[in-house]
Amino acid sequence: MKEQPLVEVINASYVYPGGIKAVDNISLSVKPGEFIALLGQNGSGKTTLAKLMNGLFKPTQGTVLIKGKDTRKMTVAECARIVGYVFQNPEHQIFASTIYEEIAFGPRNLGIPEEDIKQRVEEALRLVDLKKPMDAFPHLLSVGEKHRIAIASILAMEPELLILDEPTTGIDFGRSLQIMRLLQRLRDRGKAVIVITHDLYLAAEFAERIIILKDGRKFADGSTKEILSNKSLLVDAGLSPLQVTLLSESMKSYGISENTVRTMEFVEEFLKILKRGNLSRMKKA
């Protein structure tokens, strides 16, 4: 039996008041357990598409289905039970006076029994690895900690698909890796993950599928290697090819695959070259 998609976007468009078409006739589906990076220049429609997929926006034309049900017939709360959305700026999401109340708000709003909420809050904090007093004021946390609080507040609602809008903006590389590894663990636990990002390196290292938007339309959709190794496609989309791909292409005569997109993949191929005894050849070059 064919697995039902968590989300199906069918010829969907969205026009903002004033006539600006942000999403133009897009079709795609998201299956359980997928890890997707959604790429594109500013204004390409990424955030609007995300809000269509979690029911915050209803399509102007076309249809969006969440587990087979039209989002026009669902409340925002019903959509949030299945598709969680983490805003780009955690300040736009965090409002409570304590960490506990911030994370408890979502499940409480969904009608979860109070005796189960504490367990959900503790589990969400454990998943994001945030060891802070539950009565701490969340607005005094660092940017990275606020991102984790925002993620925890969505995890406490136990959605099946988690959409994050630029979750690594404003934090250092180490914290960015922590967040992406957290999302990878969530995917390993069976959740689907969509990350909106401008960071092609993180997309290459963690995502298994890449979707690129351009001018509100779906420009490309495929495996990470297929999409991110295609330099001309990336340039046409206004994106810069990965440095590791450019380096691997320059070394293809030594036996390195020219469509390498992940750093460790390049390192492994480079070590194979050394083992084959090509080091002296490379030094002369």
Q: What angle do CA 262, 265, 267 make, to 5 degrees?
A: 110
State the alpha helices, DSSP H only, in 75-164.
76-80, 99-109, 114-127, 143-155
User: Phi and psi (nearest 5°) for 219?
Assistant: -95, -35
All domains of the chain in start order, with CATH: 7-239 (3.40.50.300), 242-285 (no CATH)
- Pairing between β-strand 192-196 and β-strand 61-66 as defined by DSSP bridges: unpaired
| Per-residue pLDDT reduced to its tens digit, 3-24 | 789 999 999 999 999 899 999 9
pLDDT score of 171: 78
Q: How far apart are CA 260 and CA 215, in angstroms?
A: 28
Residues, the chain, total? 285
pLDDT score of 89: 82
| Per-residue pLDDT reduced to its tens digit, 110-162 | 889 988 999 999 999 988 888 899 999 998 998 888 888 999 999 999 999 99
Q: How far apart are CA 224 and CA 209, in angstroms?
A: 5
- Pairing between β-strand 7-15 and β-strand 21-30 as defined by DSSP bridges: antiparallel
pLDDT score of 149: 92
Q: How far apart are CA 159 and CA 157, in angstroms?
A: 6
Task: Return the number of other C-beta atoms located less than 10 Å from residue 48's C-beta.
Answer: 23
Q: How far apart are CA 284 and CA 182, in angstroms?
A: 43
**Would the pLDDT of 285 be above 70?**
no
Task: Give me the half-sphere count of Cα atoms (radius 13 Å) on the Cβ side of residue 172.
Answer: 2
Cβ pair 86, 162 in contact under 8 A: yes
Q: How far apart are CA 259 and CA 83, in angstroms?
A: 33
User: Phi and psi (nearest 5°) for 142?
Assistant: -70, 170
Q: How far apart are CA 123 and CA 104, in angstroms?
A: 11
**Would the pLDDT of 280 be above 70?**
no
- What rounded mean pLDDT belongs to the chain? 91
| Per-residue pLDDT reduced to its tens digit, 82-116 | 999 998 888 888 999 999 999 999 999 888 998 89
Nearest residue to 239 via CA among 42, 92, 101: 42
